[in-house]
Amino acid sequence: QSVVTQPPSASGTPGQTVTISCSGSISNIGSNYVSWYHQLPGTAPKLLIYRNSQRPSGVPDRFSGSKSGTSASLAISGLRSEDEADYYCAAWDDRLSGGVFGGGTKLTVL
Amino acid sequence: QVTLRESGPALVKPTQALTLTCTFSGFSLTTPGMCVTWIRQPPGKALEWLARIDWDDDKSYNTSLKTRLTISKDTSKNQVVLTMTNVDPVDTATYYCARSPYSSSWYHFDYWGQGTLVTVSS
């Protein structure tokens, strides 16, 4: 069981905005920056958002991240069929002295 | 261009030790604020953080696996090695290494290897 919690699934129709939540504690999200990754089947995860809200070059601005207290969110606007993937949040945990991942959210584009 | 590639056995017997090597290029593990992290993913399951080694040789381990893991680096070869002892079928997973820039409050994985699938079975 992950110390950081994500909903197991999310869905939306093309063009919609979908938000995925990531809930942690003071020792991880509450004290450190959050990053987000997406993973297509059979491929390695790819960095989407780092330091809560920063996008690496090449990531569309349809993807945005935010953090408040011990929770973070990933918003995907203008949903596209190719956004169908698994999404993970991650952060450093000061109490564990290690990294932690959320349990992942499977996004379905209806 | 940053690349990472994992290598190691595809099949390991229970109770044996597993040694995985991450060979990277395009960055140096002697650069302050740089580290390499190992992450695994059992089939159909979530990502699990395993261990990290920093540019100054500082090491961190998953607390649940700490007694079984050892991470090391060879900066002359641009390699990071992860050893896991006494493997069990539950250790069957795809193992990834990732480049991880960090500071005191941020840490993320900006480049990943393609992963290597390790099956633990007799």
Cβ contact A45–B106 (<8 Å): no
* DSSP state for residue B86 in the 8-state scheme: S
Lowest mean pLDDT among A49-58, B27-36, B102-111: B102-111
Cβ contact A32–B107 (<8 Å): yes
- What pLDDT, in 10s, does the model give residues A16-63? 999 999 999 999 999 999 999 999 999 999 999 999 999 999 999 999
C-alpha B82/C-alpha A10 separation (Å) is 35
Contacts A55 to B, Cβ<8 Å: none
Distances (CA, A) of B6 to A102, A109, B20, B81: 23, 32, 7, 9
- Nearest-CA residue of chain B relative to A41? B44
B105 interface with A at CB cutoff 8 Å: yes
Residue pair B100/B34 in contact (Cβ under 8 Å)? The answer is yes
Nearest to B47 by CA among A57, A61, A35: A35
Check residue B104 and give its pLDDT. 80
Which residues, numbered 51 to 70 in chain B, qualify as contacts with chain A under a Cβ-Cβ cut-off of 8 Å?
A: 52, 60-63
Residue pair A108/A79 in contact (Cβ under 8 Å)? The answer is no
C-alpha B88/C-alpha A104 separation (Å) is 24
Check residue B68 and give its pLDDT. 98
Cβ contact B110–A44 (<8 Å): no
Percent of chain A with pLDDT over 90: 98
In which residue are the tokens 């349809």 written?
A62
C-alpha B68/C-alpha A51 separation (Å) is 31
Percent of chain A with pLDDT over 70: 99
Cβ contact A90–B63 (<8 Å): no
Mutate to test the interface with A, among B53, B106, B114, B116 (most CBs of A within 10 A): B106
Check residue A70 and give its pLDDT. 97
* DSSP state for residue A110 in the 8-state scheme: -
Cβ contact A37–B62 (<8 Å): no
Check residue A1 and give its pLDDT. 62
Cβ contact A101–B48 (<8 Å): yes
Percent of chain B with pLDDT over 90: 94
Contacts A92 to B, Cβ<8 Å: 102, 105-107
Cβ contact B60–A97 (<8 Å): yes
- What pLDDT, in 10s, does the model give residues B42-83? 999 999 999 999 999 999 999 999 999 999 999 999 999 999
Check residue A79 and give its pLDDT. 98
Is B102 a residue whose pLDDT tops 90?
Answer: no
